[in-house]
Chains A and B, each alone.
Chain A
Amino acid sequence: MNLSAPDFGHEVRFGMDTIANMGVFRVRKMDRVNVSTRREDGQEPRFESHERTYEPRVSPSSANSNKAIAAVPRWVDDRLTLAKGGKTFLNKIFPDHWSFMLGEISLYSFIILLATGVYLTFFFVPSGHMVLYHGPYKPLWGQHVSEAYMSTVNLSLDTRFGLLMRQMHHWAADIFIAAAVVHMCRVFFTGAFRRPREINWMIGLTLMLLAIVNGFLGYSIPDDLVSGTGLRIAFSIFESIPIVGNWLGYAVFGGPYPGNGDVIFRFYIAHVLILPLLILGLIGAHMGMMVYQKHTQFPGPGRTNKNVVGAPMFPTFMAKTTGYFFVIVGVIALMGALFQINPIWLYGQYIPYKVSYAVQPDWYMGWLDGALRIMPSWELHLPGHMIPNVFFPAVLFPGLTFNILYAWPFIERKFSKAPDIEHHLLDRPRDNPKRTGLGVGVLTFYFMLFGASSTDVLANMFHVSLNTVLWFFRFAVFIVPVIVGFAAFQLAHEMKEGPQDLGKRKRHNIVVRSAQGGYSTIPVEGRPGDGHGEPEPEVLNPEVLHPEVLHPEVLGEPLHADLPL
């Protein structure tokens, strides 16, 4: 056998690939019961070929209990012939880094959204039909409210577990999108979107877009005063689109908003069926592609562009990720229990002429709200026609945003001097100062817009006039990102040029005083635990090795892809 990795030939005596490959554990047990661990080629097993020799740590007695466990996959395989796929699956290697958890947070909040959302559908009545309120919440007695609003109030105040589910649903939505945004940042700043992952970048973006839309729809259907005001603005935004605006607005809202309340039912169906299905499908594709292409990893000992180094799917990754799921459920449940969100019974039913104070959309709409606020009071007049003010900040601007994001992998590719190879080793942000500077600048821009969505709150807080705050943001939105972006570029640049171990953990400096009285620092040598003393990575699944088909032209060592800006 001409494999570059160890092959545990003796393991065939278990007859089952699955067990055999979980079976590096088994090798050790066999050790104790005196079965040869020698490889077919007569060499020592790999873990003994290091300078250190490792001793088996599982007692022989557990070999028997393992036989019983082995019966389970065997039983499954006999019926479904899953051994090959199952083995690969259980042996799949996951590189470990805290930032790889961000996508998981999104994923798990989405699962929570599905579960809590289904519960809510049992109580929510998606109808704009107006009725006289005489329910359990006395302050609303005698008011005309829609069935959608009434059912939401009753679900919140008169259904055990109802308020908790509603608030968990809302918090989960906010966290879902927040985690997706941070996840996108990690993908951006580490260059994980580069070949071959461009498609997954675009799927991810679509997910984010759908998540934002679905969040807005869900926020709208209780038909309360705050969200209704948001819907009114959304209707104006549809109407602002040139040529088709009126028709599109009417088609989506079933006539001019608020109309006869059709819009509640339409948005409900979109919110609970159409968009969740799309999101679910795309998450499947997103995950499938990630499994197929394998996860990226940061550079480190033993890690190359041609391998993945980390912990196995089973049991380590499975345990951790299941644990994360539970913790996320727990945290969101705690938030749902302790932090009130969207108390619609205090806002009242949406009535077109009623003014709601402190209109605040959910956070992920903040950038658009900010853009609406700081837009100068212009509109474009053409002979007989016009392009309204809101078109620019609320249609053109988000349109550009997403289009540029979609195109980003290709834009960077075009300007990059690096060879067009597969990239499986991640950049650290400092490795590509231009990308990092640009990204930080753009993020700052959106962050400033988000701040601009609170002009009124800020004016109150700092006791300055609204006028001052508005004009501050009109300029700061463009100036601050340039400064911050440039600072990020400089920082990354200096870190890149500086000593290479910068930023690594646990490197102590010794301060030395010279005879002349000057001070200097000497970094101490790396110690185990810094990532320097890590053992050699070991092959778990030798079958996947086919060195003869490795294509150096696509798996070449990545160079740092700097953009010539």
Chain B
Amino acid sequence: MSDPRYADRTSRPKTVERTIAVCFTVSLLSTVGFAATYWQTGPDMLLGVFFAMIFLGMGVGVIAWGKYLMPQGPFVEERHPLTTTEEDKQEFAEAFGRGADSIKRRKLLGKLFVAVNGVFAIALIIPLRSLLGAKTPGSELYHTNFGKGTRLVTVNGEPVTLAALDVGGAQTVFPEGYVGSATGQTILIRPQTTPLVTKPGRETWSPAGYLAFSKVCTHAGCPVGLYLQEFKELLCPCHQSVFDVSTGATQVFGPAPRPLPQLPLAVNSQGYLVSQHDYDEPIGPGFWSRGALWNGHNS
């Protein structure tokens, strides 16, 4: 009886050998197929299949070789305990003590050295400020480019008139001159043709039934782009927060913690929709000092 630790792990080594040979041949032929496909500008899908076959052929063959035709043991190897002798520990401690002693004896120098390193670390942080880019966090967190009498324009930059939307319609608008603005993006909707007072104090904000809300979700900042005409609701596609338009885009569902700020609208003398003033709170998701630096809207 031959030693099973070294013996083939199969009763039919010849068959296994032949199978492995077939695997390697498949691999070899796939290389040819791969090169030919590349040469002929074949589709990547075919390239990929050949590429995969090259590796699968080799892989399966080599695994089978290792699994059936190589010594499996069991063999045993002893572990070294992961510890050292008391002597070593002693000498290690001594070597460390030798250095530490001479450092400890010079108290003032030691402390100064630590201080210098601390200062150095801080000095290294300062240049990181350059990463902030041109802007430090500031007014753009609190204000948009809407002001008194700013015309609303479409994505093409065309000013919006009262004829822009049918009842039930919705459209993305921006402050004039800032098309595409990430903070100024606003959704204009028209649930009805008569003024719709969403909250006390907003009696004049909805000429001819036009309402405008910041399009930046108060949850995590996605564009709140879906207007569900039937329910008069705005839906954010990111985490499904739902805002009820008729009550001032108050959050009725999902994680959004605050209503979408409403933009007070008016119609100017040429018949264009304009903002009465900027949003009267910072738009979008919250941040630490959101309440602190807010000093009313620009008029």
Contact = CB atoms under 8 A, between A and B. Distances in A.
Contacts of B286: 239-240, 379, 386-389
Contacts of B64: 323
B45 A338 contact: yes
Interface string A400-423: 000000000000000000000010
Q: Which of the listed residues B74, B128, B155 has the most CB atoms from chain A within 10 Å of its own CB?
A: B74
Interface stretch (B110-118, B200-208, B215-223, B266-274): B215-223
B256 A377 contact: yes
A232 to B, nearest CB: 5
Contact of A319 (B52, B63, B284): B63
B49 A334 contact: yes
Contact of B220 (A233, A378, A539): A233
B73 A386 contact: no
B79 A307 contact: yes
Q: Which of the listed residues A262, A329, A374 has the most CB atoms from chain B within 10 Å of its own CB?
A: A329
Interface string B238-274: 1111000000000101111110000000000000000
Nearest to B184: A353
A139 B226 CA distance: 24
Classify chain B's interface size: 35 or more
Given A236-B285, A250-B133, A334-B48, A302 B5 contact: no
A127 to B, nearest CB: 16
B73 A250 contact: no
Contact of A56 (B2, B70, B85, B220): B2
B119 interface: no
B73 A312 contact: yes
Contact of A236 (B45, B63, B215, B221): B221
A254 B135 CA distance: 8
Nearest to B141: A246
B5 A535 contact: yes
Contacts of B67: 320
A253 B85 CA distance: 53
B285 A390 contact: yes
Contacts of B63: 319-320, 323-324, 327
A319 B240 contact: no
A135 interface: no
Contact of B285 (A330, A388, A534, A544): A388
Contact of B76 (A164, A308, A322, A388): A308
A163 B48 CA distance: 9
B124 to A, nearest CB: 14
Contacts of B226: 355
Contact of A323 (B53, B62, B78, B128): B62
Contacts of A455: 240
A424 B76 contact: no
Interface residues of A, number: 133
Contact of B75 (A55, A93, A243, A319): A93
A55 B2 contact: yes
Chain B contact residues: over half helix, strand or loop, or mixed? loop
Interface string B275-288: 00000000011111
A91 B141 CA distance: 64
A351 B239 CA distance: 19
A399 interface: no
Contacts of A463: none
Contact of A466 (B174, B240, B290): B240
Given A356-B237, A377-B254, A54 B79 contact: no
Q: Which of the listed residues A168, A258, A388, A537 has the most CB atoms from chain B within 10 Å of its own CB?
A: A388
A161 B43 CA distance: 9
B71 interface: yes
B158 interface: no
Nearest to A392: B255
B121 interface: no
Interface in A338-392: 338, 351-359, 369, 372-379, 381, 383-390
24 contacts: A91-B77, A93-B77, A96-B72, A229-B238, A242-B288, A243-B288, A256-B183, A308-B79, A310-B73, A315-B66, A319-B65, A324-B63, A325-B59, A331-B52, A352-B180, A353-B172, A353-B174, A355-B223, A378-B257, A379-B286, A381-B291, A386-B288, A535-B74, A546-B80
Q: Which 4 A-B pairs have the closest CB atoms?
A: A337-B48, A326-B59, A319-B66, A355-B225
Given A251-B129, A372-B239, A390-B285, 4 more contacts: A309-B73, A351-B180, A466-B240, A554-B82
